[in-house]
Structure 1
Amino acid sequence: MLYTSERDKLRQFYVDCWQKARMNMPMDPMEQMVARVIEMHPEYHKMLENEKLGNEYKPEEGETNPFLHMGMHLGLQEQVVMDRPAGIKLIYQQLGEKIGDVMATEHAMMDCLGEMMWQAQKNQAEPDEQAYLACLKTLLLKYG
């Protein structure tokens, strides 16, 4: 099954990055980025060290998929670096100043990212960047 094979390769990449980080091995910039995200999530360390890759995570049963969660951090960080959608970099900076913690800032923003992705999938449409930015701007008011 292609999906499972590709999923497992991606999950193995996380394991490999974490192993390299723990062993102080040389890493390319992407591996360093992944290792930083993993470092921010000690609750995932044991799972990655035990290489438990094949688990199915069921949100309807209250389970969080750690690979999806970390992937959302990476996606959000990439959006900020590229400032795409335009304006997200400024929102990230302003929200970060208000919240005062990088991980808490990203977690707040990931709620909007997840909603945008869910809506796009539900509507079988491209992600609505304007709705996404509007959601992010409400966070600035919330943490005002």
Structure 2
Amino acid sequence: MFNPSRDQVRRFFCDAWQKDRQGLPLVGAETIAVDLIRLHPEYHALLADVERALSQEWTPEEGQMNPFLHLSLHLAVEEQISIDHPRGIREAFHALARRLDDPHAAKHQLLECLGEAVWHAQQAGNQLDPEAYLEAVKRAGRG
């Protein structure tokens, strides 16, 4: 299993963004990452400044979401939808996207559900419960 360090994750996003800005070819997950970055113009300046990206910290007390956590969760959700894992997540996502009439907003709802599921797993010292996560997404889709 791939378990990148904090700096590796940050460099991945910064490097992908820099390659795109320079018109260089993107490979693998870089393509998806750049598509996600384009949806988040509020991160463009940060991603263009590697030194700042590597050194800055975001804490809940500051009231700001860590951009790298946000983009990483987006990548996870994209993969979950593409491979339908946990089984049913793709259908639940599409139901939510129809209800919200906005696929990006629907993905943000999935991010919230995933973040909460990860937090609960960490608090309990357990693995993420895919069924609880999927049920939270389905509830969001039903409104």
Say yes or no: TM over 0.5. Answer: yes
Matching residue's letter, 1:10: V
Matching residue's letter, 2:46: M
Q: TM-score, normalised by structure 1?
A: 0.90
Q: TM-score, normalised by structure 2?
A: 0.91
Aligned residue runs from structure 1 range 1-144, under 5 A: 6-51=5-50, 52=52, 53-142=54-143
Question: Where has structure 1 moved over 6 Å in runs of 4 or more?
Answer: none
Question: Unaligned regions of 5+ residues in structure 1, if any?
Answer: none
Post-superposition Cα deviations, 1:78-135, rounded to whole Å, max 9, x if no partner, equal: 1111111110011111211222222211111111101100000000101111111111
How far is the alpha carbon of 1:29 from its aligned partner? 2.4
SS at match of 1:107: helix
- Distance in 1 between the 2:13 and 2:65 partners? 16
Matching residue's letter, 1:17: A
Matching residue's letter, 2:31: Q
Two-structure CA RMSD over aligned residues (Å): 1.6
Matching residue's letter, 1:119: H
Post-superposition Cα deviations, 1:40-78, rounded to whole Å, max 9, x if no partner, equal: 100000111122221111012212100000000000111
Query: Residue 93 of structure 2 contacts residue 141 of structure 2 at CA under 8 Å; is this kept in 1?
Result: no
Question: Unaligned regions of 5+ residues in structure 2, if any?
Answer: none
Matching residue's letter, 1:56: E
Percent identical pairs in the alignment equals 38
Query: Residue 8 of structure 1 contacts residue 54 of structure 1 at CA under 8 Å; is this kept in 2?
Result: no
How far is the alpha carbon of 1:20 from its aligned partner? 1.1
How far is the alpha carbon of 1:138 from its aligned partner? 0.9
